[in-house]
Structure 1
Amino acid sequence: MMRTRMIAMVGALAGSIGLLGLTGAPALATGSARDCVVDLDHATMTCAATEAQARHQGGVTPAALTIARVYDGTNYSGASLAFVQSRACTPAYDSEWQWDNLGVTSGGNWSNRISSVRTYNKCDVRFFDGVNFGGASSTWIDASANLGAVGSGWSNRASSVKFS
């Protein structure tokens, strides 16, 4: 009887570990949400099967400019999170826009998940270890196919982000 209970408990524990995942990487939201768009003008995020669908569902105007796109895989692969704004960035590094908590999203937790980044429309990006721009920060980045090679390694490390 004791052995049967122990086997059942080990089985339940193994099942729980399987549900949580062993990699420690944040899971994508279930269903069809794969790509997300953050509208920095309105501080909203929408996720869908494609970026185009997320833009449409989120009511992002066609004139909105993509200023940065991050990916959960290296070499600009995997799920993506696009940041859009109504105007291009200025040349100065003055933190024109920001997103203070990459873990608070409707499409899954993007905190400690970003592995590559591209910027557009004269913008650069700066990542922070902690939410609300706390902890260590990266240099200003224009593009990186592998954030693990930037500074002391920024792959799967960012919890908040600023744009300039």
Structure 2
Amino acid sequence: MMACVIGLTVSIPGTSLADSPRHNYCALNVETDAMSCFSTESELESMMSTSVLRVRLGTWFDRTNMDRRGGYLVFFASRGCSDTNNDVDHADSSLRGSDWNNRVSSLITASGCDFKLYDGIGFTGHRTSWIDSSTNLGDYDMNNRASSYKIS
């Protein structure tokens, strides 16, 4: 197993998401639920390259085929996932209020992690099996439908 280590901080002084256009390039610290979002990919990459080290768990893409041009959300933690899907390493019961609710179309994981997506808040409704990689979540009947998730 190979872990990708990248830096991450989560505060954006002077930035208000409500006052800005849609921020397509985001990083989420799953341990603190702090999300930093930027208007451009280069802003996100710059922040990640100068920040505290974190372990990358996976990336969600707005478009199919892991196309970065529509925006993406990178998940980070202080460590990778366990070797089994019998436990949950991280979870979020509601993406409501986030720019990423009902938005993900493809994903890839890292650091031994897998995602399970749910179309309802509170891990309810239609759900996927554990996913390591998908170029089109429509194959799981989950394109632009995820409202909660688990990482294992």
Q: Secondary structure at the match of 2:138?
A: helix
**Shift of residue 136, structure 1, vs aligned partner:** 2.1
- Cα distance in 1 for partners of 2:129, 2:101 equals 18
- Cα distance in 2 for partners of 1:161, 1:138 equals 10
In structure 1, the residue matched to 2:11 is: none
How many positions carry a matched residue from both structures? Answer: 128
**Shift of residue 139, structure 1, vs aligned partner:** 0.3
* Matched letter for residue 98 of structure 1: A
Q: Which stretches of structure 1, 4 residues or longer, exceed 4 Å deviation after superposition?
A: none
Q: Which has the higher helix share?
A: 1
1:82-136: CA deviations, max 9, x gaps?
110111111111111012222233xxx2111110000001000000111121212
- Cα distance in 2 for partners of 1:65, 1:157 equals 26
Larger Rg: 1
Q: Secondary structure at the match of 2:62?
A: strand
Q: CA distance change for structure 1 residues 32 and 147 in 2, over 3 Å: closer, same or farther? A: closer
Q: Which has the higher strand share?
A: 2
Q: Is residue 100 from structure 1 mapped to residue 93 from structure 2 by the alignment? A: yes
Q: Secondary structure at the match of 2:65?
A: coil
- Cα distance in 1 for partners of 2:56, 2:47 equals 13
Structure 2 gaps, min length 5: 1-18
Instruction: Give the TM-score, by structure 2 length.
Output: 0.76
**Shift of residue 52, structure 1, vs aligned partner:** 2.0
Identity %: 31
Instruction: Give the TM-score, by structure 1 length.
Output: 0.71
